[in-house]
Amino acid sequence: MTLVPLVTGAEVAYWICGPIMILAAVAMVLFRKAVYSALSLALVMVNLAIIYASQDASFLFVVQIIVYTGAVMMLFLFVVMLVGVDVSESLVEKIKGHTIASVLAGVGLFILLAVALGRGLVTGAVGVEAANAKFGGNVQGLAALLFGPYVLAFEATSALLITAAVGAMVLAHGERLSPKLDQKARAAARIEDFVTNGVHPGPRPNSGVYARHNAIASPALLPDGTVSEESVSAVLVRRSGLADADSLVAPAKAAFASLDAVQGDSEEDR
Amino acid sequence: MNPSYYVILAAILFTIGIVGFLVRKNALVVFMSVELMLNSCNLLFVTFSRVWGNLAGQAMSFFVMVVAAAEVVVGLSIIVMIYRARRSASVDNASLLKF
């Protein structure tokens, strides 16, 4: 009699990956931000791949990681980046009691599934070792199936993938709504703006050059000592605001003041 | 290991996918829930392939992955298109076809 209960690798994988998968799936539904949802779904898929490996499906283990976690989930992350990470989801229910009804429907479906599956529970498993060994391995066995009885379906999937790629390109291609402005048209628009609104048609002023700063974020000063807002890019102004002109000028002023003081002393000595 | 454990795990994942599909309003998360359901079905395919000692289940799982990849490509480009037109990825806002 063995003291340690007989535990197989498949059981270890199941009891480690199963709970992680369920937690990550629940987290995917509960996370407010789509990025977190995508990452927890990737976690579910990696754990699922481990469970495939523990069930002697080595080809699907690799494909699950490469295709699902590597390609599909990264596509999701790209689209989250395009669509905006901070798209906030309104918590207002359009239909009253929608969330509760949905959760109840989910629980009902689970009970239905559990009862239906409980009736047809299977206890023993033949195992795919024999099927794998028939052609010398899991990949070879799947290849014999895909290029044998399922070769038509396999060819159809290639047509499907090409159609999907073309469809995505057609759908994601944005038509230009207005004609592209060339240099001539832009120059004409500038002069038009000058004639009607009096906007200066020439280039904008440089950013300011100070004793200690000449970054593009430091604004230039006008002859009367005020800040010229045009001298700094509008994007920088929106991000961090205009720098305070007094603090930029202060070091130069202090240096001049100390110079004047030294000059005054030497004049007194003379 | 008893295959019914895997069946129960697949049922739980499928249920979570259904609930996420019904509850969430962000089109992307709704789509991810669909992916979760597809994955749970793949788990069933692989499990029953082991139960019957037949690789056909794994071949089916492979086809499901191919179809899912194609579906994700088209679906995500539709979401991007809707976002471009309406500046929103919420499924509640796309209500032009509502009677």
- Beta-carbon separation of A107 and B31 below 8 A: no
Indicate yes or no: CB of B15 within 8 angstroms of CB of A107: yes
Distance from CA of B41 to the nearest CA of A (A): 11
Domains of chain B: 3-86 (1.10.287.3510)
pLDDT value, residue A268:
63
Name chain B contacts of A44, Cβ cutoff 8 Å: 13, 36, 39
Q: What percentage of chain A has pLDDT greater than the value 90?
A: 33
Predicted confidence band at A87 (pLDDT cuts at 50, 70, 90)? low
The predicted pLDDT at position A3 comes to 54
* Cα–Cα distances in angstroms (integers) from residue A58 to residues A73, A242, B1, B51, in the given order: 21, 60, 17, 16
Residue labelled with tokens 């499906």 = A57
Q: Kindly indicate the confidence band of residue A94, based on its pLDDT and cuts at 50, 70 and 90.
A: confident
What is the distance of C-alpha A159 from the center of its chain? Answer: 29
User: Model confidence over A40-71: pLDDT tens digits?
Assistant: 999 999 999 999 999 888 999 999 999 989 88
CA angle A220, A221, A224 (to 5 degrees): 165
Q: What is the pLDDT of residue B42?
A: 94
Could you say which of A25, A57, A103 has the minimum Cβ distance to residue B13?
Answer: A25
pLDDT in tens, B65-86: 999 999 999 999 988 888 888 7
Q: CA B58, CA B2: separation in Å to the nearest integer?
A: 18
Q: Which chain B residues are Cβ-neighbours of A164 within 8 angstroms?
A: 69-71, 73-74
Ordered by start, the domain boundaries in chain A are: 1-86, 129-173, 198-265
pLDDT tens-digit readout, B8-33: 999 999 999 999 999 988 889 999 99
What number is the ipTM of this complex? 0.92
| Closest residue to A83, CB basis, from B39, B46, B80 | B80
Mean pLDDT over each residue of chain B, to the nearest integer: 89
Residue A177 above 80 pLDDT?
Answer: no
A107 touches chain B (CB under 8 A): yes
| Two tokens, residue A66 | 């490469």
Q: Is some CB atom of chain A closer than 8 A to the CB atom of B64?
A: no
Closest CA to A40 of A79, A85, A73, A87: A73
| B23/A99 touch (CB, cutoff 8 Å), yes or no | yes
Q: Are B55 and A145 in contact (CB under 8 A)?
A: yes
pLDDT band at A21; cut points 50, 70, 90: very high
B-chain CB neighbours of A37 within 8 Å are 28-29, 32
**Interval A116-135 mean pLDDT:** 76
Judged by a CB distance cut-off of 8 A, whether residue B65 touches chain A is yes
What's the pLDDT score for residue A84?
Answer: 67
* CATH architecture of the domain covering A1-86: Up-down Bundle (1.20)
The model's confidence at residue A223, banded by pLDDT at 50, 70 and 90, is confident
Contact A37 B47 (CB under 8 A): no
Stretch A20-26: mean pLDDT, rounded?
A: 95
| pLDDT of residue A86 exceeding 70 | no
pLDDT at A238: 79
> Shortest CA distance to B43 belongs to which of A13, A131, A130?
A13
Other Cβ atoms within 10 Å of A8 Cβ, number: 10
pLDDT value of position A91: 67
